[in-house]
Amino acid sequence: MVQDSNNGEPAGLPLAGTTAAVTGASGGIGSAIALALAADGADLVLHCFHDRAAAEEIATEIAQLDRTSTILQADFGDPDQLPGLVEQAWSWQQGIDIWINAAGVDVLTGNAATLSFPEKLERLWQVDVRGTILVSRLVGQRMVESASEPGQAVLLNIGWDQVAHGMEGESGEMFGAIKGAVTAFTLGLARSLAPQVRVNCIAPGWIQTSWGEQASEDWQQRAISESLMGRWGTPADVASVACFLASPAAAFLSGQVIPVNGGFRHAGNQPGEPGL
């Protein structure tokens, strides 16, 4: 899949000649990753569920970077739709070099915020855990079969930095269990697919996506105080790490969990969970 950079590809871009797929590419962390990959020279498969209009906006920005993209819609929580998603992605440019699973359910904002704990947990299980596992296995098998060089193919999943030490409250318990499962699976998959595929887990900390933008002052202060950098993280911070892990510069990194949290500082006893 990786093409000769002298064959019409822009020089000096670390991902020139590659094709990348990003699930959940219509917003938040997923869209930031997709745009960053395009800026580094990759063509993009953009997966979305409901918000095709947002995905089309990302596709327009990718075109402005002189890269190409295609949009695929699928319910990441429906196992029957996942083989078709992978097949369509693979067929677009006869293969995928980089696959990044950023699809996830937002249960903290919008109508989903009013669901019960069991209902939120079920939605997160279906998409964040089961969807990630099933898609990763399908993608990994294809990558192994088509690998021309060890470690050239890359698969990344999204975990959570607080899995390692836990966080109090309903959301902490819920996301700890969900992202802990994703993290454990990713580490196992790295062993299963080595050495043909490099598999890593990105573990974001306090990243200011839609929930962070409307979080209460207590949560704003907590996010800032728990980072050694003294600020919220941004989707662009996560995207930068994804681009590094996808690039040849990370050729010797696999089976790793990479925190993106500005340096976590445990602040001790915290207030409860206002608004969650």
Task: For the chain, give the secondary structure using H, E and C.
Answer: CCCCCCCCCCCCCCCCCCEEEEECCCCHHHHHHHHHHHHCCCEEEEEECCCHHHHHHHHHHHHHCCCCEEEEECCCCCHHHHHHHHHHHHHHCCCCCEEEECCCCCCCCHHHHHCCHHHHHHHHHHHHHHHHHHHHHHHHHHHHHHCCCCCCEEEEEECCHHHCCCCCHHHHHHHHHHHHHHHHHHHHHHHHHCCCEEEEEEEECCECCHHHHHCCHHHHHHHHHCECCCCCECHHHHHHHHHHHHCHHHCCCCCCEEEECCCECCCCCCCCCCCC
pLDDT at residue 26, rounded to an integer: 93
Tell whether the model's pLDDT for residue 176 goes beyond 90.
yes
Q: How many residues does the chain have?
A: 276
Spatial distance between the Cα atoms of 178 and 158, rounded to a whole number of angstroms: 11
pLDDT of residue 274: 41
pLDDT at residue number 6: 41
Kindly report whether the peptide bond that precedes residue 14 is cis, defined as omega within 30 degrees of 0.
Answer: no
- 275: pLDDT confidence band, cut at 50, 70 and 90? very low
Residue 271 has pLDDT above 60, yes or no: no
Comparing 7 with 234, the larger pLDDT belongs to 234
Per-residue pLDDT tens digits for 67-95: 999 999 999 999 999 999 999 999 999 99
Write the pLDDT tens digit of every residue in 209-268: 767 677 778 878 888 888 999 998 999 999 999 999 999 999 999 999 999 999 988 655
Domain boundaries, the chain: 19-260
Confidence check: pLDDT of 196 > 70: yes
Domain boundaries 19-260, corresponding CATH code: 3.40.50.720
pLDDT at 223: 80
Task: State residue 104's pLDDT score.
Answer: 94
pLDDT computed for residue 41 by the predictor:
98
Over range 172-188, report the average pLDDT.
96
197-203 average pLDDT score: 98
Q: Give the residue among 78, 7, 75, 80 at the shortest CA–CA distance from 41.
A: 7
Q: What pLDDT score was predicted for residue 245?
A: 98
pLDDT computed for residue 265 by the predictor: 80
* pLDDT value of residue 10: 54
234: number of CA atoms within 13 Å, CB side?
Answer: 5
Q: What is the pLDDT of residues 14-68, one digit of tens each?
A: 999 999 999 999 989 999 999 999 999 999 999 999 899 999 999 999 999 999 9
pLDDT at 99 over 90: yes
Query: What is the pLDDT averaged over residues 169-192?
Result: 96
pLDDT of 209 reads 77
Q: 36, 239 in Cβ contact below 8 A? A: yes
- Alpha-carbon distance of 186 to 191, in angstroms, equals 9
- Average pLDDT score over residue span 164-192: 95
Which residue did the predictor score with more confidence, 130 or 5? 130
Residue 111 is predicted with a pLDDT of 86
Residue 100 pLDDT: 98
**Average pLDDT for the chain:** 90
